[in-house]
Structures are given as C-alpha cells and as structure tokens.
Amino acid sequence: MNWNSAADFFAMGGYGTYVWGSYAVALACMAVEPILVVRRHQRARRELQGASR
Amino acid sequence: MSTNLRLFRFASPAAFYPLAGRLVPWFAAVAAILAAIALYLGMLRAPTDATQGDAYRIIFIHVPAAWMSMMLYVVMAFWAAIGWAFNARLGSIVARAIAPTGAMFTFLALWTGALWGKPTWGAWWVWDARLTSELILLFLYAGYIALVSAIDDTRRADRAGALLAIVGSVNVPIIYFSVIWWNTLHQGASVSVTAAPKMASVMLLAMLLMTLAFWAYAFAVIFVRTRAIALERDNHAAWAADAVARAPMRQGASS
C-alpha cells in the first residue's frame, strides 16, 4: 500500500484532477450506457406486448 | 451435417435472442468483479511511477479503452462483412450493436489521453499521428452510425454500413503502428508480443484485468443491444412475440 491517508490517495501526488477526471468520466459512460441499452430493450419488448394484445 | 446445423443454429435472431439473454448477467458479473480487482491493484497496490508520478495511473483505463476501440472496430467490420456476404441478418444486427460501444471506448481513450497528456506533455491535444488516427476512428464510428440510421431500407443500410466499416478498417493498423511509422509525441507500446513488457508486473496485471473487464462489459452491453435491435426489426415475427410472452421482463429462461 503506498498511501498514508485518504487525503493522500485523493490528491494522487498532485495529479488528482487528471486521474479522477479520467476515472469519473469512464465510470459515468459505463454506468449510463447499460441503462440506455436496457431501456431500449424494454421499450422494444413493451411495443411487442402492446402489438400482440 | 449435424455439426453444421448446430454451429449455425444461433445465427438466427430467434435462437440467439434467448441465448444472449442467458449470457448477459454472467458477463456483467465478470466485468464487475474483474474491474474491482483491477482497480484495487492499480490504485492501491501498484507503486508510484518514477518519472510520471501518480498521473500514470490513467493507464489502467486509457490503454484498455484504446485497445477496445480498435478491437471492437475490427469485430464490427467483420460481422458487417459476414452480414453482407452471406446475407446473415444477425451479423448485420451485431455490427450495429457494436458501433455505439466502440465509439464510447474511442471517446474514453481520447478523453483519458487528453487528461494524461496535459500533465505529462503540457498539452491536452497535439495533432500527432497516434492521436489524429484515433480521432479518425471516432469519426468512422460516428459515420457508420449516421449512415445506417439515415437509410430507411434496413438491409440496404446494412450493406452501405458494411462497406464503410470494411473500408475504414484500414485505419486500425495505422493507429496501431503510428508510433513506429512516424515520430510521435505519444509513447511507444508498453506491451507487445515480441518483447518483455516495459512495466512492473502488478501494473501489467491491473491493466490486463481491466482489459478483460472491459471485454466482459462490452459483451454484456452489446448482447442487450443486439436483443433490442432484433426485436425492433422482427416486431412482426412470431418468434419475437413468443420470446416476449415466454420471458416476462428480465431473463430468458427457456430452451
């Protein structure tokens, strides 16, 4: 383990903005995309169910 | 003969739909577990780099995202070509399902590259061969998506998209070899098949695990999108109505 404290970890040796800016956007993209595809799939299912009734 | 039949059974959207549905939760779980291990190794266990400080930790998403952006393009062009050459509808559907995820990884590679470039090179962006060819990859994905959605006749759109995808795939080796062919600001490959990796083994392990996590993520998301597109296209087909009626929401338990 190379961090002495949580503050140390979040500072990333002075590169916090760059490192966390990268990880935050990656996390956001990979959280939003699954939500969007699941919604698209559910919409397609709903339309089929509506059509069959 | 019977093996042939078995091999191509899942080439039909009707057969692939429940199979993909069963696989998605497994891929999602594998992605989450591997990403957690990779983050633990990369952020907590890997030592600080001697020259780049902790800014180098961007590598654990930058390189996997860049690899995915190129691999997914090749896979997309491959399935688009299969869909075109053999008139295999599922191939074209999968190609379309890959494009947004590939574009997302390309964007991530560029974004994390900018955030890495600023502290190490002093510039968010430079027009060097590696960065420019990766930007062209993003435009190729965007062009493919725009083209297939602009043509109303679905199969015609598939064929036009396949042509664009195949021609555009010439860009992938250009990205890969750009750091060798031209003098670039971008550093050379950290990992290659022919030479020992130029990094500590814990860093390498974190990066490879993150790559596998991204692969699993891509499979999960692309399979859900494939299912969605298959239903949208075949919304008058009996199999689609059956599939929806048989599995009320969530899973695809059946045979």
Taking each continuous run of H as one helix and of E as one strand, the counts in chain B are 9, 0
pLDDT of residue B65: 98
Cα separation, B18 vs B243, whole angstroms: 8
Q: Using CB atoms, pick whichever of B107, B108, B244 lies closest to residue A48.
A: B244
Structure tokens at A46: 């709903």
Q: Which CB contacts under 8 angstroms, 24+ apart, belong to B45-51? A: B45/A1, B45/B202, B45/B206, B46/B200, B46/B202, B46/B203, B46/B206, B47/A2, B47/B200, B47/B202, B48/A2, B48/A13
Query: Under 8 Å CB-to-CB from B17, ≥6 apart: which residues?
Result: B227, B230, B231, B239, B240, B243, B252
Residues of chain B whose beta carbon is less than 8 angstroms from a beta carbon of chain A are: 28, 43-45, 47-48, 53-55, 57-58, 61-62, 65, 100-101, 104, 107-108, 111-112, 115-116, 118-119, 217, 220-221, 224-225, 227-228, 231-232, 235, 240-241, 244-245, 249
- The answer to whether the CB atoms of A18 and B119 lie below 8 A apart is yes
- Count up the domains in chain B and report the number: 1
Q: What would the pLDDT profile of B76-105 be if each residue is shown by its tens digit?
A: 999 999 999 999 999 999 999 999 999 999
pLDDT of residue B248: 63
Residues of chain A whose beta carbon is less than 8 angstroms from a beta carbon of chain B are: 1-3, 9, 12-15, 18-19, 21-23, 25-26, 29-30, 33-34, 37-38, 40-45, 47-49, 51-52
DSSP 3-state assignment of A37?
helix
Residue B129 is part of which domain span?
24-246
Cα separation, B158 vs B168, whole angstroms: 15
DSSP assignment string, B66-123: HHHHHHHHHHHHHHHHHHHHS--HHHHHHHHHHHHHHHHHHHHHHHHHHHHHHHHHS-
The interface predicted TM-score of the complex, written ipTM, equals 0.93
pLDDT of residue B253: 41
The residue behind tokens 């060097």 is B128
Residue B35 lies in a domain: yes
Residue B187 lies in a domain: yes
Q: What would the pLDDT profile of B172-209 be if each residue is shown by its tens digit?
A: 999 999 988 888 888 888 877 677 677 778 999 999 99
Residue B45 lies in a domain: yes
Residue B201 lies in a domain: yes
pLDDT of residue B23: 96
pLDDT of residue B94: 98
Report the gap between the CA of A50 and the closest CA in chain B (Å): 10
Residue B254 lies in a domain: no
CA neighbours within 13 Å on the CB side: how many for B148?
25
pLDDT of residue B3: 63
Q: pLDDT below 50 — which residues of chain A?
A: none
pLDDT of residue B246: 82
Residue B30 lies in a domain: yes
Structure tokens at B131: 């960065």
Residue B252 lies in a domain: no
Q: What H or E segment, with its residue span, contains residue B241?
A: helix B238-246
pLDDT of residue B252: 43
On whether the CB atoms of residues B35 and B213 are closer than 8 A, the answer is yes
pTM reported for the whole predicted model: 0.92
Residue B199 lies in a domain: yes
pLDDT of residue A16: 92
Q: Using CB atoms, pick whichever of A21, A38, A49 lies closest to residue B115.
A: A21
DSSP 3-state assignment of B53?
strand
Cα separation, B141 vs A34, whole angstroms: 19
Mutate to test the interface with A, among B34, B54, B215 (most CBs of A within 10 A): B54
On whether the CB atoms of residues B130 and B179 are closer than 8 A, the answer is yes
Cα separation, B244 vs B227, whole angstroms: 11
Q: pLDDT below 50 — which residues of chain B?
A: 251-255
Bridge partners, residue B53, by sequence: B49
